[in-house]
Amino acid sequence: MTIWGTGEKVKHYFADELVKEVEITGAQFLVKFLEHKGVAQVYGLPGATNLPLYEAVLEGEYMRIINVRNEQTAIFMADGYARSTEKIGICTIASGSGATNLLTGFYSANEDSVPLIAFIDLQEVQDGGIVERAQSVTKAAYLVTKASDLPKVMSEAWTAANQGRKGPVLVNLPLKVQKEFLKINLENYLMKENAEPVRAMQVTDSQLEQVYTLIEEAQNPVLMVGGGVALGSSGEDLIDLAQLLQIPVVSSLMGKDCFPNYHPLYAGMAGTMCQTPLGEKTLLGADLVLNLDGGINSWSAEKINSLKEGCKIIHIRADQKEVTDQNSTELIITSDIKNFLRKLSRFIRDRQYEPSREALERIELLQIERTRIDRLRDLGCGPLKPEQAIVEVRKGLRPDAIVTLDHGLSQIWANQLHEAYEPRTFLITDRAAAPGWGLGAAMGAQLAYPERQVVNVVGDASLSVCLQELATAAKHNIPVVVVVFQRGLGLAAVAKGMGVEAELVEKPKQITDALARAFSAYRPYLIEILVDPGAQSSAGFPGTMNSVREVS
């Protein structure tokens, strides 16, 4: 055996497979393609129709398959892996109804721009038009009819998942294609794959000039941050620009971890049902919004009309999707977010920009207001409130700990009170709001970063949707910590029955000690926190967006 690789990729291949044309099965080709791309893990559920793929993985030395109990969890794990690493997540499931179980995962990944590829193996008798059905919730969907088409399909699928606004891809790989042989020169093919980098669109000099002019003219500019900043690994560039301009930063749900929540320029969340009072007030007072994939694109007309009269919006996006509101839009820039941030910072420095005294005073007032609001937060006495639990959980985590959230009130409480310090450490399913997503995503993130703390914060109802996957964590010894808010369903005993250590917590001060025990166990662990069953969320801040202005 010989070692062959380019750049940072080092993969194992038999020497004769690289120097001449070889005959291999479709499944074997797929495994070699994925190995070359750096894929080390595949999440899946085995069946008679994807066994050739399983066998091809076992023949290799680099990849392994993590088996789950439900198909949704396989795609949720691929999703969590992708969100936490910025790499493409991979999953595979067997034929039949398993394919339809992936549709929720596709929808979630597509709405949140998460790159993943799912392989199914439906025969014609079972297909049911699944490829056509999936097209509305994926970036691309393929049906492979012969093995010789696989090299082309996989090149296209990988590019589609990873280029522009990222997203999920479906590849239907029937059993006969997995077993069928194709002839290919792997060296030539893989070298061509290396030679075709993903090309991102870039901002122009004239657009930078327009942006700079609008910033200079604005009295209250605001940076609105969305998930596209994290998808482009642009966190440090965002901090640099915000500090250079000395303007407030607000975030959408997906952008919460793109900017350090402790930073003096961070005002909070805005434009979402989980908005914070200061974040919403800051956005509503802006006369210029630099929308870095911040979700304004999908706002309703009512929300956009709630912005300050005359407010101008600059949309910066990685793709060319249509902007919902054209009246407030001053400029639309299609560019890689990282490229835009770096070029704009350089452009501003070249003009020796200095923030005005008024800008610095606004930041001081922002800090005063932030401190005032924090002091008003009174969680009171009585039963343990979920808000208290969220604050205590944060105290027990390292700065780089990864937190995944599920659907429901637990997500709302955590969005408003949990502080995210680093990019890709606060993972949520946004528009899909899929119950059961958080545990699968947490396991995927934990497998990507075995040395990191990974916590799934979840309500007992949502956990019950995917409770069987605790057995998956136990079987593969995935040391994820599940923090579940108990409001009627006692799940600690069930977790123990599945091989997961568990304990019940009833007081706030017990939470950090419980987390310390969980992380020192180095195995899956469940902490059941008994919270006030009558606790309500403050989703969206009391009243409508207009009422926020009235009480400010």
The length of the chain in residues reads 552
pLDDT in tens, 161-212: 998 789 999 999 999 999 999 999 998 898 887 765 656 688 999 999 999 9
Residues 68 and 186 in one domain: yes
On whether both 36 and 170 belong to a single domain, the answer is yes
> Of 194, 224, 246, at which residue does a domain stop?
194
Q: What's the domain count of the chain?
A: 3
Which secondary-structure segment (H or E) carries 231? helix 228-231
At residue 297, does pLDDT exceed 60?
no
Read off the tokens for 488: 């009627």
Highest mean pLDDT among 6-15, 123-132, 375-384: 123-132
Give pLDDT, residue 13: 47
Instruction: Report which of 172, 163, 127, 166 is spatially closest to residue 30, judged by C-alpha positions.
Output: 172
**pLDDT digit string, tens, across residues 254-280:** 899 999 999 999 999 987 777 888 999
Q: Which of 47-51, 317-321, 530-534 has the lowest mean pLDDT?
A: 317-321
CATH code at position 295: 3.40.50.1220
- Please report whether residue 538 resides in a domain: no
pLDDT band of residue 541 (cuts 50, 70, 90) is very low
| Contact indicator for 438, 458 with CB cutoff of 8 Å | yes
Residue numbers of the domain that contains 469: 386-530
410 and 429 belong to one structural domain: yes
Long-range contact set of residues 266-272: C-beta below 8 Å, sequence gap at least 24: 267/222, 267/366, 267/370, 269/415, 269/416, 270/224, 271/224, 271/295, 271/296, 271/299, 271/303, 272/415, 272/540
Asked if residue 398 and residue 329 are part of one domain, the reply reads no
Does 301 score more than 60 pLDDT?
A: no
From 139, 163, 194, give the residue that closes a domain: 194
Q: Which of 329, 257, 319 is nearest to 290 (CA)?
A: 329
pTM equals: 0.89
* 321 and 395, same domain (yes or no): no
For the chain, the average pLDDT equals 86
- In this structure, are residues 421 and 260 in contact, taking their beta carbons and an 8 Å threshold? yes
Residue 172 shares a structural domain with residue 219? no
Residue 383: the pLDDT is 76
Q: Is residue 200 part of a domain?
A: no
Give the H/E segment covering residue 17. helix 15-19
Q: Do 214 and 359 reside in the same domain of the chain?
A: yes
Note the pLDDT of residue 489: 77
Is residue 35 included in any domain, yes or no? Answer: yes
Residue 539 domain-assigned? Answer: no
214 and 160 in a common domain: no
In a domain? residue 317 = yes
Regarding whether 252 and 110 lie in a shared domain, the answer is: no
Binning pLDDT at 50, 70 and 90, where does residue 298 land? low
pLDDT over 80 at 219, yes or no: yes
**Rounded-to-integer distance, Cα 310 and Cα 283, Å:** 13
Asked if residue 137 lies in contact with residue 107, where contact means CB atoms within 8 angstroms, the answer is: yes
Most confident of 59-73, 381-395, 485-499: 59-73
Residue 249: inside a domain, yes or no?
A: yes
- pLDDT tens for 324-362 read 555 568 899 988 889 999 999 999 999 999 888 888 888
Question: What's 15's domain CATH number?
Answer: 3.40.50.970
Measured CA to CA, the distance from residue 318 to residue 340 in angstroms comes to 10
218 and 249 both lie in a single domain = yes
pLDDT, one tens digit per residue, over 361-391 is: 889 988 888 877 765 555 556 678 888 999 9
Q: At what angle do helices 337-350 and 235-245 cross, to 10 degrees?
A: 30
What percentage of the chain has pLDDT greater than the value 70? 85
Place of tokens 């967006």: 545
Domain boundary among 194, 224, 243: 194
Q: Band the pLDDT of 543: cuts 50, 70, 90.
A: very low
| pLDDT, tens digit (0-9, with 9 covering 90-100), for 66-117 | 999 999 999 999 999 999 999 999 999 987 778 889 999 999 999 999 999 9
Q: Cβ contacts of residue 23 below 8 Å, gap of 6+? A: 181, 182, 183
What is residue 10's predicted lDDT score, i.e. its pLDDT? 39
- pLDDT above 50: residue 143: yes
Q: What is the predicted pLDDT for the residue at 544?
A: 38
214 with 342, same domain: the answer is: yes
Residue 370 lies in a domain: yes
Whether 486 is in a domain gets the answer: yes
* 44 lies in the same domain as 71: yes
